[in-house]
Amino acid sequence: MPRSLEERLDLLEAQGVTIVDRRQVYLDDAIDPGRVRPGAILYPGTRLLGSNTFVGARAKIGPEGPAVLDNTVVGENAEVASGYLKDSVMLRDARVGANAHIRVGTLLEEEASTGHAVGLKHTVLMSFVTFGSLINFCDALISGGRSRKEHTEVGSGFIHFNYTPRGRSGDKATPSLIGDVPHGVFLRQPRIFLGGLSGIVGPQRVGFGSFTVAGQVLRREVPPNRIIGDAVRSIDKEFHALNQFPERIVKLNLEYIGQLAALQAWYRHVRLARIPASGEHDDLRVVTQAAADLLSVSIDERVQRLRQFLDERGLATPTPPSTVPTCPLRTMPSDPYVDHVAWVSKLSDVDIELGVSWLQAIVEQYVEKTTQKITGT
């Protein structure tokens, strides 16, 4: 028989959860109290919804205002200042600022953070990536940097434009890659800085170590280790919505899907494989598994958007590769468990080279084999 709200709140307090004001905390009937871990702090205005919601030890929910977690997984020591999060995952020590709007398919890895009034959807912020305030990013993956002090950053007032008027009804075949997965996961790459009060028109790529000046809209790819500042373009010409088959757009979409597949392989064959089976590490496994599952949702979204793009041009969407090359890294569980970031930081140059090659092979099998099926080349 379902417990009353008061009984559920009693359970949370009995197991060591701090509820600052019981009168202003709501749990829906689907919430499993066991998935709100001891040491978590629920501030006034907190609402927890959905059976998948998880709040890790010492996580803080709502210290700066009302906060809603809807089927969202929040790792230990993470913080949601205020706002709405749905179908998203935050790993340990990640933080979103006040008035966040975090939607399906969003992943913040260790120590990634945002300022206030940031909107994210189908976006991955890899470890240490930092966003300023008043930012909107949908359909992007951002990496780069070596530590919390040396991190990739997006300046305040930045927008990723993820819709184009191409085709009969427009499309969202527009994912952008800032950094990459095969190199980014090893936390050895130079940071990227995207200047504020700016935008980027997807799909695009920005290389590691690059810096884009504030107050511009990027409409071209940025190579590694460059500083870019583009003047505003003046355009006045005839427009045809259904343009010719743009091979570049398809390749960028396939590469992006391959990058997500590589990141998912990293989670499944490295991050999850390293977690001991003992109950002491159950919370870590829950959060890491949620991140791996979220990447399946993100891959499906990108495949659907690409399919719409290709269907309108009379081209079939090929079946993506079904196999993943064997991981070459030694990933046996260790006890005591070594934190993931600390473990990565101690990998040898040989291991990193092997890991990059493995992850890059996953990306390339999406780009090369799948492009051949579409173009016949």
**pLDDT-derived band of residue 213, with 50, 70 and 90 as boundaries?**
very high
What is residue 59's predicted lDDT score, i.e. its pLDDT?
A: 98
What is residue 49's predicted lDDT score, i.e. its pLDDT?
A: 98
In the predicted structure, residue 85 carries a pLDDT above the cut 90: yes
What is residue 350's predicted lDDT score, i.e. its pLDDT?
A: 97
Cα-based torsion angle of the residue sequence 181, 73, 290, 109 in order, rounded to the nearest 10 degrees: 20
What is residue 133's predicted lDDT score, i.e. its pLDDT?
A: 98
What is residue 169's predicted lDDT score, i.e. its pLDDT?
A: 81
Average pLDDT over residues 287-291: 98
Q: Which residue did the predictor score with more confidence, 192 or 166?
A: 192
**pLDDT-derived band of residue 244, with 50, 70 and 90 as boundaries?**
low
What is residue 296's predicted lDDT score, i.e. its pLDDT?
A: 96
**pLDDT-derived band of residue 11, with 50, 70 and 90 as boundaries?**
very high
Report d(CA 366, CA 338) in Å as an integer: 32
What is residue 349's predicted lDDT score, i.e. its pLDDT?
A: 97
Q: Which residue did the predictor score with more confidence, 362 or 248?
A: 362
Average pLDDT of the chain to the nearest whole number: 93
In the predicted structure, residue 315 carries a pLDDT above the cut 90: no
Comparing 155-164, 228-237, 338-347, the range with the smallest average pLDDT is 228-237
**pLDDT-derived band of residue 1, with 50, 70 and 90 as boundaries?**
very low
Q: Which residue did the predictor score with more confidence, 169 or 65?
A: 65
What is residue 293's predicted lDDT score, i.e. its pLDDT?
A: 98
